[in-house]
């Protein structure tokens, strides 16, 4: 029998809302062990436990070989394993400047003279990753629909879902002031002493998460009564008092 519990998640986009969303999850820690799975399979088939263990060992050995060769392996009735890659630590690349010679697709960005100069100096290699710069990040698994449907039918037919007594809220950021206008007032008081504010400053001041603080500051910059305006763009954007706007 599977135990599940219910949690209530508050609305992250509107921290002042009292609406919640219910989420149901299976209680972890009751997963089947390899030994129990092998024993269960031996009891329901004509294979011995030693044969089953040997087959599973060979399956793993063949699976990693085929994943390294083909990138994905589909096991009928089970699902598909797929390989994902990423740059090695220290080899990650950020946004390429417009002055770079080529994009990721190889399309030139600069003039013919600039590309020729970069080719002579080898600067274009600084923005490319080769095979030695990449590694496997993780292996994803996509369940076969037939397996999903079979498990769903078993649980529905035998009624093997039981609610656990645990219920509660997922821990989230809690604003220090419940109302947005109060948070704007705190931001103005902060700006009177520090002259400018970044999103991280507002998040720390109000107790909001970074993403919510960012959205709220953008809203403040568009509201005349907030007394806060934005200056700059992108990562250089800051927020100041509207009275300090320069003509």
The tokens describing 29, both together, are 């820690």
**Are the C-beta atoms of 230 and 238 separated by less than 8 Å?**
yes
Instruction: Quote the mean pLDDT of the chain.
Output: 79
Mean pLDDT over 195-212 rounds to 87
- Is the entire prediction scored with pTM above 0.75? no
| No. of helices (H) and no. of strands (E), the chain | 7, 8
pLDDT for residue 90: 73
Q: How many other C-beta atoms can be found within 10 angstroms of the C-beta atom of residue 56?
A: 14
pLDDT for residue 42: 94
122: confidence class by pLDDT, cuts 50, 70, 90:
very low
Q: How far is CA 199 from the centre of its chain?
A: 21
The least confident of 57-66, 164-173, 202-211 is 164-173
Give the H or E element holding residue 126. Answer: none
């Amino acid at each position: 029998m599977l135990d599940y519990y219910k949690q209530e998640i508050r609305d992250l986009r509107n921290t002042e809302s009292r609406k919640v969303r219910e989420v149901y999850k299976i209680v972890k820690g009751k997963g089947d062990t390899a030994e129990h799975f092998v024993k269960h399979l031996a009891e329901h088939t004509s294979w011995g436990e030693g044969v089953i263990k040997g087959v599973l060992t060979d399956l793993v050995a063949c699976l990693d070989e085929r994943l390294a060769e083909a990138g994905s392996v589909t096991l009928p009735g089970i699902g598909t394993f797929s390989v994902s890659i990423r740059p090695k630590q220290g080899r990650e690349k950020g946004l390429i400047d417009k002055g770079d010679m080529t994009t990721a697709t190889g399309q030139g960005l600069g003039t013919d003279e600039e590309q020729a100069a970069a080719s002579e100096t080898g600067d274009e290699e600084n923005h490319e990753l080769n095979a030695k710069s990449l590694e496997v990040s993780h292996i994803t698994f996509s369940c076969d629909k037939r397996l999903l449907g079979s498990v769903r039918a078993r649980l529905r037919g035998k009624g093997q879902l039981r609610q656990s007594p645990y219920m509660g809220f997922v821990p989230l950021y809690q604003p220090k002031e419940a109302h947005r206008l109060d948070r704007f007032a705190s931001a103005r008081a902060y700006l009177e002493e520090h002259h400018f504010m970044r999103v991280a400053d507002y998040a720390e001041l109000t107790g909001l998460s970074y993403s919510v603080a960012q959205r709220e500051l953008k809203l403040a910059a568009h509201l005349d009564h907030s007394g806060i305006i934005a200056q700059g763009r992108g990562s250089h954007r800051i927020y100041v008092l509207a009275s300090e706007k320069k003509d």
